[in-house]
Structure 1
C-alpha cells in the first residue's frame, strides 16, 4: 500500500457498528488504545472489513480513514 498520508497506525478491527448509510469502525492499535472512524457502509463493504481483521487508521489533517492491504 502506498499513500501520501504520513500517519498510519496498524491495528485490529475490534467492532463495526453499521447503519443504513454509515459504519463506525473501532480499531484496536494496542496498549489499550483505540481509534474510531466513521466511513460509508459501502466503503466498509468494498474494503471487506470484518471484526478481527487487520487494518490501518490513516490520518491526514483532521480526517481519519481506514485502509487495508
Structure 2
C-alpha cells in the first residue's frame, strides 16, 4: 500500500458498530490507546471489517487543532 498521507497508524480492530448508513470502527493502536473512525456502512461491509482484524488508520489533514481550558 502506497499513500501520500504521512500519518498511518497500524492497529487491531476492537469494535465494529453498524448503523443504518454509517459504521463506527474502533482500532486499538496500543494497549489503552484507541482511534475511532466513522465510514459508510457500504465501505465497512465491502472491506469485511471485523474485530480482530489488523487495520490502518490513515490521517490526511492540513490542520490539527489543539485546545486547552
Q: Pick the TM interval, shorter chain.
A: 0.7 to 0.9
**Where in structure 1 are there 5+ consecutive unaligned residues?**
63-69
* Structure of larger gyration radius: 2
1:13-53: CA deviations, max 9, x gaps?
A: 00011001000000000031000000000010111101100
**Where in structure 2 are there 5+ consecutive unaligned residues?**
63-69
CA RMSD of aligned residues (A): 1.1
Alignment partners' CA distance in 2, 1:45 and 1:23: 9
- TM-score normalised per structure 1: 0.85
Q: What is the aligned length?
A: 62
